[in-house]
């Protein structure tokens, strides 16, 4: 295969001939006409990938006079597809800031400066994982969380089993109760002696009064 884009760069009619050679043996010449206005470029080969919220489209390299048109749409909104143009020297098309969790589809075609264009590729659809959330991040986070929790539980179980009362006492010290919560109260009752004497004398007076009356 050889690229004759610049040698056949005008709209003129060309006559080409080709033959094969294997060692000292040569095939007969094969002659055919060529005019780029009559040539249809082949359908491109594309690869579609995602990285976070970015969609990446790579296209097989074509001659420098070609341009690849990439049509992209979300979900089933193909009627609202947006066109992205890729010159021949651009290897990857990047479309960023896409909606997380949404499905985007793309298809592509090649067209030449002469106006000739290829057919479209089949539609390629991918799901956007979202910014900062690659496919490997969620399972890795879950795995690390499980490992850390297991480590904490094993350490706690080991400390309970191997911790002797004497050695663990310094970590779990019993604080004494405050005086206000203790049950030992010294109660002192003060007796009023004058009231006691008054109460003792009263029955005497009553008995003497009753004696005189009788």
In the predicted model, what is the mean pLDDT of residues 174-198?
A: 59
In the predicted model, what is the mean pLDDT of residues 128-135?
A: 64
**Number of other CB atoms surrounding residue 81 within 10 Å:** 15
Phi and psi torsions of 137, nearest 5°: -70, -45
E strand or H helix at 155, and its extent?
helix 137-162
| pLDDT digit string, tens, across residues 5-58 | 788 878 889 999 999 999 999 999 999 998 877 878 889 999 999 988 899 999
Angle (CA) 108 113 118, round 5°? 35
Most confident of 66-80, 182-196, 198-212: 66-80
pLDDT at site 89: 86
Q: With a threshold of 0.85, does the pTM exceed it? A: no
Phi and psi torsions of 125, nearest 5°: -115, 140
User: What is the tally of helices (H) and strands (E) in the chain?
Assistant: 3, 11
In the predicted model, what is the mean pLDDT of residues 60-88?
A: 89
- pLDDT of 130 over the 50 cut: yes
Domains plus CATH for the chain? 1-39 (no CATH), 46-127 (2.60.40.10)
């Amino acid at each position: 295969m050889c690229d004759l884009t610049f040698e056949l760069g005008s709209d003129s009619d060309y006559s080409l001939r080709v033959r094969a050679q294997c060692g000292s043996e040569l095939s007969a010449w094969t002659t055919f006409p060529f005019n780029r206005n009559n040539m249809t470029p082949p359908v491109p080969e594309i690869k579609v990938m995602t990285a976070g919220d970015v969609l990446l489209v790579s296209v097989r390299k074509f001659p420098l006079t070609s341009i690849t048109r990439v049509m992209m749409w979300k979900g089933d909104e193909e009627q609202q597809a947006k066109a992205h143009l890729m010159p021949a020297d651009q290897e990857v098309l990047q479309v960023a800031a896409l909606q997380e969790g949404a499905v985007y589809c793309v298809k592509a075609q090649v067209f030449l400066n002469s106006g000739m264009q290829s057919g479209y590729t089949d539609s390629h659809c991918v799901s956007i994982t979202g910014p900062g959330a690659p496919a490997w991040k969620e399972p890795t986070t879950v795995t690390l969380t499980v490992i850390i929790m297991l480590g904490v539980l094993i350490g706690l179980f080991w400390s309970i089993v191997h911790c002797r009362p004497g050695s663990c006492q310094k970590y779990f010290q019993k604080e004494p109760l405050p005086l206000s919560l203790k049950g030992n109260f010294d109660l002192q009752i003060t007796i009023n002696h004058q009231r006691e004497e008054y109460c003792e004398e009263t029955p005497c007076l009553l008995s003497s009064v009753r004696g005189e009356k009788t």
